[in-house]
Structure 1
């Protein structure tokens, strides 16, 4: 399904295949000879999505565009089932496996691999040809690649990247306090306004 959203209509190259249960919404451009699988969602929420040529986005993957950055896939990219990409930049010939997550502002260098259930944190730069092993975490610029069990090591790098400010435009709460009560109503209202006039175009 193609949805006009926020006054933008998706642009799909005539040689691309879009599965009948995929959802493509808003300012999305899909290049030649791409395949978008069943249940995949490409959702431009305040920022554009640009998909290059010869990309395969498999069933149930989610790709979200966010404000202030282009969500971009280069050419010859595979995005596996259940992968989630948000406001990141993916260069050519990158392999993103099943269940992998790549967050806001991250850059995946050419020919890199993010394997099953691996994570690339926000504002992380993964060098060309690098590999994030199954279930591991890449964090920082340049990326350090750490096992998920190394919470303290990951947090030491992740904390200064400042997820609350960078993604939610709010200050990190003091220990023991929650930002959710203040942030979620604002976020929900913003999404409601953004999608108020959505309509199917095909």
Structure 2
């Protein structure tokens, strides 16, 4: 399903193949010979999304751009099933395994691997060829790779990342954080009410 969102229509190269159950919404450009499989969602929520040539987006993967963070994905990149990329810049020949997560403002260099259920946190920078092991967390610039049992080190990085402030525009110390966050984000998402199927 292809949707116009906020006045922008997806542009899909005539050699790309998009499954009929995939959703492509807004300012999205899909390059030559890309494959977007069933259930994948590529949604430009105010910022553009650009997929280079030969990018494969597997079943039920999610790619989302925001007004603050566009998404650029280099050629010959594979985004595995149930993986998600939000507002990040991805180099060429990158592999995202099933369930991998990449957050806003991250930069993933050429030929990196983000393995099963690994996380690239907000604003993390992965140099070319970096491998994030299964379930590990990549944080910072320069990047630190932390195993899932390093709870204290991961928690120590969280305040500096200011995820609610950067992504949702709400201060982490707001007493009614989730009320403010869901109402603000809900208003933004409500803009889909005016989408037009193409």
TM-score band, normalised by shorter chain:
over 0.9
Deviates more, 1:25-34 or 1:144-153: 144-153
User: What corresponds to 2:153 in structure 1?
Assistant: 153
**Is the Cα contact below 8 Å between 1:139 and 1:158 reproduced in 2?**
no
Shift, 1:157, TM fit: 2.2
Number of equivalent positions: 198
Shift, 1:196, TM fit: 2.3
Shift, 1:178, TM fit: 4.5
Q: Secondary structure at the match of 2:20?
A: coil
Instruction: Provide structure 1 residue ranges, at least 5 long, that are not aligned to the other structure.
Output: none
State whether structure 2 residue 96 is matched by structure 1 residue 96.
Answer: yes
Provide the C-alpha distance between the structure 2 equivalents of 1:118 and 1:29, rounded to a whole number of angstroms: 27
State whether structure 2 residue 153 is matched by structure 1 residue 195.
Answer: no
TM-score, normalization by structure 1: 0.95
Distance 1:145 1:178, change over 3 A: farther
Shift, 1:162, TM fit: 1.1
Shift, 1:27, TM fit: 0.4
TM-score, normalization by structure 2: 0.97
Provide the C-alpha distance between the structure 2 equivalents of 1:182 and 1:72, rounded to a whole number of angstroms: 30
Shift, 1:188, TM fit: 0.6
Q: Secondary structure at the match of 1:43?
A: strand
**Is the Cα contact below 8 Å between 1:35 and 1:56 reproduced in 2?**
yes
User: What corresponds to 1:184 in structure 2?
Assistant: 182
Provide the C-alpha distance between the structure 2 equivalents of 1:68 and 1:183, rounded to a whole number of angstroms: 16
Summarize deviations over 1:107-153 as a string: whole Å, max 9, x none.
Answer: 00110000000000001001110000001100111210001121110
**Is the Cα contact below 8 Å between 2:54 and 2:76 reproduced in 1?**
yes
**Is the Cα contact below 8 Å between 2:11 and 2:30 reproduced in 1?**
yes
User: What corresponds to 1:134 in structure 2?
Assistant: 134
Provide the C-alpha distance between the structure 2 equivalents of 1:142 and 1:153, rounded to a whole number of angstroms: 15
**Is the Cα contact below 8 Å between 2:168 and 2:184 reproduced in 1?**
no
CA RMSD of aligned residues (A): 1.0
Shift, 1:47, TM fit: 0.9
Summarize deviations over 1:11-46 as a string: whole Å, max 9, x none.
Answer: 000000001100000000000000000000001111
